[in-house]
Structure 1
Amino acid sequence: MDIPKILEKKLGRPVAVFGAGVSGNAVAEFLRGNGFSAKIYDRSAAGAARLFGAAEAAEHDLVVFSPGFPREHPWKDAARRAGLLCLCEPDFAALFWQGALPPMKRLAGESREEFLARADARLGLTAVTGTNGKTTLTEFLAFALRRVGRDSLAVGNNGVPMSRMLTHSSSASFRPVCEISSFQAEELRYFSPRCVLWTNFDEDHLDRHGSEENYFRAKFRLVECMMRLRLVVGDFPQEDDPDVRAVLA
Structure 2
Amino acid sequence: MKNDLKHKLHPKWESFCQRFHLPAHPRILVVGLERTGRSVCRLLAQFEVEIIGTDLAGPDRLDPELSTLPPHQVRFELGKHHSETFTAVDCIFVSPGVPLNLELFQGPRQLGVPILNDIELSAHLFGGSIVAITGSNGKTTATQLIGEILQTQDHGCTIAGNIGKPVLDSAFLNYNHNHDLVLEVSSFQLEAIRFFKPCIAVLLNLTPDHLDRYSSLEAYYQSKFLLFKNQNSQDWAVLNQDDQWIKAHSSALKSRLVWFSRTQPVPYGVWLHDDWVVTNMTPSEQRLFSVRSFKLPGRHNHENLLAAVAVGLIKGIAGPIMESVSAQFSGLPHRFEQIATFKDRVFINDSKATNVGAVVAALAGHKTPVHLIMGGRNKGGNFDPLVKIVKEKVVHLYLIGEASQEIASTVSGSIPFTECPSLDSAVELAYKNSNPGESIILSPGCASFDMFKNFEDRGNHFKTIVSSLMVTEKNHAENFSL
TM category, shorter: 0.7 to 0.9
Distance 2:227 2:23 in 1: 25
Structure 1 residues 166 and 59: CA distance shift in structure 2, 3 A: farther
After TM superposition, the structure 1 = structure 2 runs for residues 43-58 of structure 1, keeping only pairs within 5 Å, are: 43-45=56-58, 46-47=62-63, 48-53=78-83, 55-58=84-87
Q: Which amino acid in 2 is paired with 1:177?
A: V
Structure 1 residues 21 and 239: CA distance shift in structure 2, 3 A: closer
Distance 2:244 2:191 in 1: 18
Distance 1:225 1:244 in 2: 15
1:145 aligns with 2:174: no
- Paired residue for 1:204? 209
1:237 aligns with 2:250: no
Distance 1:167 1:8 in 2: 24
Tell me the TM-score normalised to structure 1 length. Answer: 0.81
Structure with more of its chain in strand, by fraction: 2
After TM superposition, the structure 1 = structure 2 runs for residues 1-249 of structure 1, keeping only pairs within 5 Å, are: 1-2=10-11, 3=14, 4=16, 5-7=18-20, 9-10=22-23, 12-45=25-58, 46-47=62-63, 48-53=78-83, 55-97=84-126, 101=127, 123-235=128-240, 236-239=243-246, 241=248, 244-247=250-253
3-state DSSP of counterpart to 1:168: helix
Structure 2 residues without counterparts, runs of 5 or longer = 1-9, 64-77, 256-482
Structure 1 residues 124 and 147: CA distance shift in structure 2, 3 A: closer
Do the aligned partners of 2:132 and 2:200 also contact (CA within 8 Å) in 1? yes
Distance 1:89 1:186 in 2: 12
Deviations 1:27-78 (A, max 9, x none): 111011233231111111425425131x213431111111111121122223
Distance 1:83 1:173 in 2: 35
- Aligned-residue CA RMSD (Å): 2.2
Alpha-carbon distance, 1:135 to partner = 0.4
Deviations 1:163-203 (A, max 9, x none): 23452212333111010111111232111011111111111
- Paired residue for 2:67? none
Distance 1:239 1:146 in 2: 29
Greater Cα shift, 205-214 or 73-82: 73-82
Do the aligned partners of 2:239 and 2:246 also contact (CA within 8 Å) in 1? no
Q: Which amino acid in 2 is paired with 1:21?
A: E
Greater Cα shift, 213-222 or 85-94: 85-94
In the alignment of these two chains, the number of paired residues is: 223
Do the aligned partners of 1:57 and 1:84 also contact (CA within 8 Å) in 2? no
Distance 1:37 1:167 in 2: 22
Alpha-carbon distance, 1:248 to partner = 5.0
Q: Which amino acid in 2 is paired with 1:163?
A: L
Greater Cα shift, 137-146 or 1-10: 1-10
Structure 1 residues 21 and 207: CA distance shift in structure 2, 3 A: same
Do the aligned partners of 1:11 and 1:62 also contact (CA within 8 Å) in 2? no
Structure 1 residues without counterparts, runs of 5 or longer = 102-122
Structure 1 residues 178 and 62: CA distance shift in structure 2, 3 A: same
3-state DSSP of counterpart to 2:40: helix
Structure 1 residues 57 and 11: CA distance shift in structure 2, 3 A: farther
Q: Percent identity?
A: 24
Do the aligned partners of 2:86 and 2:105 also contact (CA within 8 Å) in 1? no
Do the aligned partners of 2:129 and 2:181 also contact (CA within 8 Å) in 1? no
Distance 2:122 2:210 in 1: 25
Structure 1 residues 59 and 168: CA distance shift in structure 2, 3 A: same
Deviations 1:113-140 (A, max 9, x none): xxxxxxxxxx531011111111011111
Structure 1 residues 10 and 178: CA distance shift in structure 2, 3 A: farther
Q: Which amino acid in 2 is paired with 1:246?
A: A
Structure 1 residues 96 and 50: CA distance shift in structure 2, 3 A: farther
Distance 2:115 2:24 in 1: 13
